[in-house]
Amino acid sequence: MPLRNLGAFASPLILVVDDDADAREIYALTLGLSGFRTEEAENGSVAFEKALALAPDAILLDHAMPVVDGREAARRFRGDVRTHDTPLVMLTGFDRASARGREVRADGHCDAYLAKPCEADQLVAALRAAILLGAGRCTAAVVRPKQLSL
């Protein structure tokens, strides 16, 4: 699986987006211990600029943030050709069963949604799966055999 930043043997770069500095630090530490590299942003607006500059392998988005929240940031990422295929994992305080949780997930802009608080292994697994799925989306057109015309 080729990664966007430093080649096949590089650790994936995750952009961690959360308005809570302590939460960002915990996520970054957890991901670092699991072999990821991380960069941080405090809201969706800063995240979008950093994503353009860094081309992360995936973005971990908090749902509720000031300035630009996670849902709007996800819409922006999906709407821009430069970030359209970047895997997105959203953290939300709403579980899947609640009406608000269903509303957050209804957009379908993210590759995975995790209810807070989530376990470290859930976070790592969701990001790894999103990166693998994202790599499949990006390479599907390259590996698809050409149609022969006679």
**Which two three-digit tokens encode residue 20?**
């809570």
- Global confidence as pTM: 0.80
Residue boundaries of the structural domains of the chain: 13-136
pLDDT at position 25 is 96
pLDDT at position 148 is 36
Burial-class residue 12 by CB neighbours within 10 Å (0-12, 13-18, 19+).
buried
CA 72 vs CA 44, 79, 84: distances in Å? 8, 10, 14
Render pLDDT for 75-108 as a digit per residue (tens, 0 to 9): 999 999 999 999 999 998 766 555 554 555 556 6
Render pLDDT for 109-144 as a digit per residue (tens, 0 to 9): 788 888 888 899 999 999 999 999 876 554 433 333
Which of these CATH numbers, 3.40.50.880, 3.40.50.2300, 3.40.50.720, 3.40.50.1980, describes 13-136?
Answer: 3.40.50.2300
| pLDDT band per the 50, 70, 90 thresholds, residue 52 | very high
Q: Where are the beta strands (DSSP E) in the chain?
A: 13-17, 37-41, 58-62, 88-92, 112-115
